Amino acid sequence: MNALLDVPAPAKLNRFLHVTGRRADGYHELQSVFQLIDWCDTLHFETRRDGRLSREDLRGADGDTPPLPADDLCLRAARALQSASGCPLGVHIVLDKRIPQQAGLGGGSSDAASTLIALNRLWGLHWPRSALMAIGERLGADVPFFLGGRNAWVEGIGERLKPLDLPPARFLVVKPAAGVPTAAIFQAHDLERATPPAIMADFVAHLHDCPRQPWGRNDLQPVAVRLCPDIARALERLADRGLAARMTGSGSAVFAVLPERYAPEDDLFRGWPDGWQVRVCCGLPEHPLIGWQKDAIM
């Protein structure tokens, strides 16, 4: 068997998230800035000569991890690429799941993107990134971002990406034990769906002048807080310690930019409820696998 070891799949943060409208097909028009962070799943791939696709689910070390669905985004990505390419090979995927589910961190979409990138190399397809993008758009709204490989200003349903250089930053990310189903938020009657379109230059200027203060808002946050009150608890605790926090994506994880100096022994890192995950993450300038393809379209 050919093997491809330790392929990372990084998480992302939504620095803001505005819902600017709703399309006739039911999808929501969004604006956001996606920031890659160094909280990663790890995937291991082994070629199967029998053409079958299989996945093994390792337990993550960052708290209790619920079982993955039998047909997760990794397998769906592998199946879509196998079908589109006509490749006779299969693959066995071992997924070490560290990014929590129902967190708004994009872990499933990142796993799918890393699967497409890895199998493109492992199976010797040498497809251009644009071809993988076409598959990724059908798998999930966040998959194109992770395939693009750069921090980005994101519009549409996640398919319109503009690369954005973000300054180095460290974040405190807090994930309550409870999660929030994304579909329940977007179906909520009280979701804000008419935020005026924002301008990227305004975000960049604010980031330069006030790097630790959030810009804009997360339109999904009020609905998510109603569905999961622990989100409010996390936000309030961070605010009590002088950190301006907000929810990422559809939650339930929240984050805040850390000051340059922080003490790991500070009570900020202690006393959280059982089952919550608290982690210091660094922003990434680009996806760890960006160099695997030379035809970046961003």
> Contact at 8 Å (CB) between 28 and 19?
yes
The residues carrying an active-site annotation are 12, 142
Binding-site residue positions: 100-110
Q: Give the up-direction half-sphere exposure of residue 90: CA atoms within 13 A in the CB hemisphere.
A: 10
Give this prediction's pTM: 0.94
Mean pLDDT of the chain: 92
pLDDT at 5 over 80: no
pLDDT at 31 over 80: yes
- Residue 231: its pLDDT value, please? 98
DSSP 27: P
Read off the pLDDT of each residue in 196-209 and give the average, rounded to a whole number: 97
Whole-number Å distance between alpha carbons of 158 and 143: 8
> Contact at 8 Å (CB) between 175 and 252?
yes
pLDDT band at 97 (very low <50, low <70, confident <90, very high): very high
Q: Which residue type, as a one-letter code, is found at position 93?
A: I
CA angle 84, 25, 296 (to 5 degrees): 45
Binding-site residue positions for ATP: 100-110
- Residue 265: its pLDDT value, please? 56
Instruction: Provide the number of structural domains found in the chain.
Output: 1
pLDDT at 271 over 70: yes
What is the domain extent for residue 206? 1-298
189 exposed, middle or buried (CB, 10 Å; 0-12, 13-18, 19+)?
Answer: exposed
pLDDT at 261 over 80: no
- Residue 60: its pLDDT value, please? 47
**What is the tens place of the pLDDT at every residue in 65-77?**
667 788 899 999 9
- Residue 69: its pLDDT value, please? 80
**What is the tens place of the pLDDT at every residue in 99-114?**
999 999 999 999 999 9
DSSP 290: G
Q: What are phi and psi of 246, to 5 degrees?
A: -155, 165
Locate the DSSP E strands across the chain: 3-22, 28-48, 53-58, 90-96, 152-156, 160-163, 170-175, 245-247, 254-257, 277-282
The domain that holds 142 is classified in CATH as: 3.30.230.10
